[in-house]
Amino acid sequence: MTEVFDLVVIGAGPGGYTAAIRASQLGANVALVEKGLWGGVCLNWGCIPTKTLIDNLKTMKKAKKLLVLETGPQLSLEKLFQQKDLVVGNLRKGLETLFKTHKITLITGTAKLAGAKTIIVQDSKGQDKRRLEANNIIIATGSSPVELPELKTDGRDIITSDQIFKLTQVPTQVLIVGGGAIGCEFAQIFHDLGAQVHLMELTSRILPEADEEVVKLLTVGMIRSGIKVYTGVAVEQAIKTKNGIAVTLSNKEVITVNLVVTAVGRKANIEDLGLEKAGVTVDQDRIKVNKQLETTAQGIYAIGDCVSGPMLAHKAAYDAVTVAKNIAGKEKQEVDYTTIPKCIFTAPEIGMVGLREQEAKAGGTVKIGKFLFAASGKAQAIRDTRGFVKIIAQAGTGQIIGAHIIGPQATELVNQIALAMTNKMTTKQFAQVVFAHPTLSEAVKEAVEDVDGQAISISKKRFTPPFLK
């Protein structure tokens, strides 16, 4: 028997479940198909679990500084993971409640396109169990870690970033392959867990997409903390020995570790979906879509990591809302990724949105404003004064076109600039807002005001920290 819906969404990660809920709010009869756990990688193995771990480790580090104990707080990997399980479990239950209240039909299984409007759902054994039909289909199958041929993962000694929570003990020596956002976060996680960490990046610096001054500060901090950072090198081979895993780098240096974590990027999960049968075209390993996120097959859309753009949970959710509106309404909306913030949960945190300084200068004359957290009363109060806020604005109009923040709660603060950029605000308009005191947000306002030389808490004779020189 064929079950008929207005919309079938394939994949229940941040993109998929957001699309299903918003479409239901707009009056559609929706089915959501997921072969794994509700919430996808983000909720179960990625964003939420890792940030729970990072926050608990941060709390432990603060406790060590303030508590008077002979041995200090003792680390329990088991309890850390139990806390993670509690958070993830509560959020997954919350999702299931949302699905129920919005009357979304939940289907567990692997979905395959059998035509432009038909989906076959198979069970874990590959047997067809349900046949669905819908005028509109959204593909939201997410992504998975890229694996290197010279580093075959085994889920035990050589793992991907998605397998971190399968560990039962903290290794003494860890090699993180890949110095992007995921690699840098995991480097600090393992360092805080007590491991000796080696962080390796193929390009000339870690976080190649981030602002140079931001990267310089983070790199200096990592090295001073004891993390060994290697740039401009690749892995040539990895051999398991009785002493561990001997990894040979392209500079001929050999590092022996107990664990290797690969974090060299992610790839779209678009294999075995039956795309050809439905007339859906793939371009450069992602599904080809127009600016309304419709594929080459009418009525079939793709969102999130499956299509071009940053592989971020909030970008997937943005895609999802856009498509849900496009399906429900007559007026088509187009996606615009220029004001989507990117966040890295290192210590210090990093938040960025819009153009980098070099990109902005290449496009025309710009003005730059900066403010050090060392001059922030709130940063002093919470004893976290590392970092700065950098604001980039067009010289002629004063419109804010970029922001790069490294410091306490940078991942929260950057959203203020994303809001300003979305509404095409100028520095003068932003400066009119009254900010509460004492808050970290004041640092953002000071940096914006510094673009026009109007910052209150910056000395005329500026001191430039060594990491910015």
According to the model, what pLDDT value does residue 350 have? 98
Q: What is the average pLDDT across 7-14?
A: 98
pLDDT of res. 458: 86
Tell me, what's the pLDDT at 18? Answer: 98
Q: Is 191 a catalytic residue?
A: no
Task: Determine the pLDDT at residue 66.
Answer: 66
- The CATH superfamily assigned to 158-264 is FAD/NAD(P)-binding domain (3.50.50.60)
| Sequence-separated (6 or more) residues with CB below 8 Å from residue 98 | 17, 21
Q: Where are the domains of the chain?
A: 2-145+267-328, 158-264, 342-468
With vertex at residue 89, the alpha carbon angle to CA 91 and CA 181, rounded to the nearest 5 degrees, is 70
Q: Which amino acid, 197?
A: V
pLDDT of residue 29: 98
* pLDDT category of residue 1 using cuts at 50, 70 and 90: confident
Residue 150 pLDDT > 90: no
Mean pLDDT over each residue of the chain, to the nearest integer? 94
Mean pLDDT of the 279-296 span: 97
Report the DSSP beta bridge partners of residue 282. Answer: 287
417 touches 400 (CB < 8 A): yes
The model's confidence at residue 166, banded by pLDDT at 50, 70 and 90, is confident
Mean pLDDT of the region 299-316 = 97
Q: Do the first three CATH levels of 2-145+267-328 and 158-264 match, i.e. the same topology?
A: yes
Kindly compute the dihedral angle of the four CA atoms of residues 15, 21, 26, 31, in this order, to the nearest 10 degrees.
90
Mean pLDDT across the stretch 65-90? 79
Q: Tell me: the pLDDT tens digits for 25-77? A: 999 999 999 999 999 999 999 999 999 999 988 888 877 766 655 565 667 88
pTM reported for the whole predicted model: 0.93
Q: Using the predicted structure, report yes or no on whether residue 20 has a pLDDT greater than 70.
A: yes
pLDDT at 112: 96
Q: Which one of 198, 314, 404, 437 is the catalytic residue?
A: 437
Is 70 exceeded by the pLDDT of residue 383?
yes
Share of the chain above pLDDT 70, in %: 96
How high is the pLDDT of residue 247? 95
Tell me which of 296 and 463 has the higher pLDDT. Answer: 296
CATH superfamily of 2-145+267-328: FAD/NAD(P)-binding domain (3.50.50.60)
Quick one: average pLDDT of 318-326?
97
pLDDT at residue number 466: 60
The mean per-residue pLDDT over the stretch 108-127 comes to: 93
User: What pLDDT was estimated at residue 282?
Assistant: 97
CATH topology of domain 342-468: Enolase-like; domain 1 (3.30.390)
Which pLDDT does position 317 carry in this prediction? 98
Evaluated on CA atoms 40, 42, 46, 51, the torsion sign reads negative
pLDDT value of residue 428: 97
Q: Output the pLDDT for position 68.
A: 55
The C-alpha angle 43, 413, 218, rounded to 5 degrees, equals 80
Report the interhelical angle of 77-101 vs 47-66 (nearest 10°). Answer: 140
User: What pLDDT is stored for residue 468 in this prediction?
Assistant: 58
Query: Given this model, what pLDDT does residue 63 score?
Result: 75
Residue 392: alpha-carbon gap to chain centroid:
23
pLDDT of amino acid 469: 56
Q: What's the pLDDT score for residue 155?
A: 85
